[in-house]
Amino acid sequence: MDDLAGYGQRPVAFFWRYIRGRLLGHSVILGAVTLAVVCSTLTQYGVKLLVDTLSTATHATSAVWQAFGILVGLIAADNLLWRLASWVANGTFVAVTGDVRRDLFRHLTGHAPGYFSARSPGSLTSRVATASNALFTVENMLVWNVLPPCMATISSILFVGTVSVAMASALVLVAILVIAVMFHIAAKGKPLHHEFANRAAAVDGELTDVVGNMSIVKAFGGMPREFMRFDTKVAEELKARSRSLRYLERLRIGHALAVVALTVTLLAWVLVLWQRNRATNGDVILVCTLGLAVLHATRDLAVALVDVTQHAARFSEALQNLLVPHQLSDRPGAPALARTGSSVRFENVTFAYPDCPRIFNGLSFHIESGQKVGLVGASGGGKSTIFALIQRFYDIEGGRILLAGQDVTEVTQQSLREAIAVVPQDISLFHRSLIENIRYARPEASDEEVWAATAAARCDFIDALPQGIETIVGDRGARLSGGQRQRIALARAFLKDAPLLLLDEATSALDTESEIAIKDSLSRLMNGRTVIAIAHRMTTIQNFDRILVIESGCLTRDLPRSECDALLAPHLATLSEAGPDETRRRLVESR
């Protein structure tokens, strides 16, 4: 969905994209509404025809009943056409909201991790809903509240022309002037409406942030502070909304005064014509009813303009934030990663996170297929960044990263990540059932394969859960302990069965007894695969082929198996509980 990025600053073009997508439905709606408004205006002409016929015909004439039939036919057509338009709109407009949500979701999920880390998840999800709902509201208001008064005004002016061309011409000039002034003033208020949209999104984001971290808020007694913070955000939104509404209300007041003056002038004009015998009784009634119709139509248009302008501003603001170009995209015609091995090579890699100091400046190392390599060193040295770059969560500034001899930037991201299984330190689970979370690694897996993966990961706790493997785990797995979540992550890795395995402190959330219980499972998981493990507990990388010591973005030591065994043997008992800084210190001292 990269083509959506071009619509970030063009909300009207984005809107038109979805009208084109369902052109037949929109055409039927537009045609039915237009004809309904014309019939409604013609009804006024039908009343004039009936009055004039009654004034000139005898009681027995059929002309009266003909005029009556015309009037009844116009009334019936008016009502039935509205119902047709509404019936079609109920399907078409709802379908458009689905199209918009699907497309925005696909575009949003195509962003790099850096995009999400710099933005509130609540505000992003809020903007997807806001864009969809705002488009639905704008589309409905354009059809039911903007188009009818516009059409009614135009058709009323045309029928006034049957009484007096000069009167109709004056109405056209005044209408053009009023509309031009209204839209000019309305456009000048756009910054106010955007400010309101920004404040509203901030409130949604704040609410999601607090709810998602409620355990922390409770643990630190932060409720009073959060109440004050949220009250401040809401006050800012209300202030911005009030400024937006009051600006538009001033516009409506000016419009109301102009319309009242126009209607009074129109009615006085037709009465002068009647006095001069240049207008019939029916003409007077026609102009009076059309004048009132114009008054009501333009008043409705002014009211609709308030809502349309605000919803359009929220729609535009949401698109500006969501439809930014993707930082990571597959190269045109990029092939899938060929499964010819699982070696990993960094060649003079240079990288820095956006607006941050450089982490790697010419980092190089090579891991052969089937090797098990541990990454150790102080926190912040770049170990997790190596994992992120292997998965191409970010693009590097210089050098190359090769997986199975293929540049990760030259293959599709989907095929690259299908070749990698990850057991992260911070386990994140969906608010879904256990079986859905495990099967996420391989959606086509059978129930038997899922159960085999849980057995391999020693997920013995599943049977004790209320609904067993169908138990909903809660937001991010809140209903499970840290150790249980980590075993689920291991089960996912077993099920995925990828050639490259990345372990980010895979046993960090387990106590010693639990770690021993799954040690054999972890060994089976690593068997026959290339494994890269970030390790702070040295038991994790016992019997590994190599250890790479990463310090301040540099590879300071590359220890082969012989040196690893000699180095770790005297310290395994104590290092198993040592922290990352202590581990690094002992490795450095052993040089």
Domains of the chain: 2-322 (1.20.1560.10), 344-589 (3.40.50.300)
Q: Are strands 546-551 and 406-407 parallel, antiparallel or unpaired?
A: unpaired
Which residue type, as a one-letter code, is found at position 145?
A: N
The per-residue pLDDT for 588 is: 46
Q: How far is residue 239's CA from residue 401's CA, in Å, rounded to a whole number?
A: 51
The strand pairing partners of 21, in sequence order, are none
Q: CA 84 → CA 36, 136, 427, distances in Å?
A: 10, 19, 53
Q: How far is residue 471's CA from residue 466's CA, in Å, rounded to a whole number?
A: 6
The per-residue pLDDT for 591 is: 40
Q: How far is residue 574's CA from residue 571's CA, in Å, rounded to a whole number?
A: 6
Residue with tokens 């607006």: 355
Which residue type, as a one-letter code, is found at position 274?
A: W
Q: How far is residue 71's CA from residue 63's CA, in Å, rounded to a whole number?
A: 12
Q: How far is residue 399's CA from residue 348's CA, in Å, rounded to a whole number?
A: 5
Residues in the chain predicted with pLDDT less than 70, given as ranges, are 1-2, 57-60, 179, 182-183, 186-187, 190, 193-194, 212, 215-216, 218-220, 291-293, 295-296, 298-299, 302-303, 306, 506-518, 536-540, 561-591
The per-residue pLDDT for 330 is: 85
Q: How far is residue 316's CA from residue 321's CA, in Å, rounded to a whole number?
A: 9
Q: How far is residue 225's CA from residue 271's CA, in Å, rounded to a whole number?
A: 68
What does 268-279 look like in DSSP terms, one character per residue? HHHHHHHHTTSS
What length does the chain have? 591
Asked if residues 259 and 299 have their Cβ atoms less than 8 Å apart, the reply is yes
Return the DSSP state at 433. B
Backbone angles phi, psi at 537, to 5 degrees: -100, 115
User: Of the candidates 121, 148, 150, 268, which has an alpha carbon nearest to the alpha carbon of residue 208?
Assistant: 121
The per-residue pLDDT for 215 is: 62
The per-residue pLDDT for 573 is: 45
Cβ atoms < 10 Å from Cβ of 61: 13
Handedness of CA 202, 208, 212, 213 (dihedral sign): positive
User: Of the candidates 205, 198, 200, which has an alpha carbon nearest to the alpha carbon of residue 121?
Assistant: 205
Q: How far is residue 390's CA from residue 403's CA, in Å, rounded to a whole number?
A: 8
Q: How far is residue 463's CA from residue 457's CA, in Å, rounded to a whole number?
A: 14
User: Of the candidates 530, 544, 533, 452, which has an alpha carbon nearest to the alpha carbon of residue 492?
Assistant: 452
Q: How far is residue 261's CA from residue 259's CA, in Å, rounded to a whole number?
A: 5
The per-residue pLDDT for 219 is: 65
Question: Does pTM top 0.75 for this prediction?
Answer: no
Q: How far is residue 448's CA from residue 183's CA, in Å, rounded to a whole number?
A: 65
Q: How far is residue 291's CA from residue 285's CA, in Å, rounded to a whole number?
A: 10
The per-residue pLDDT for 537 is: 65
The per-residue pLDDT for 575 is: 42
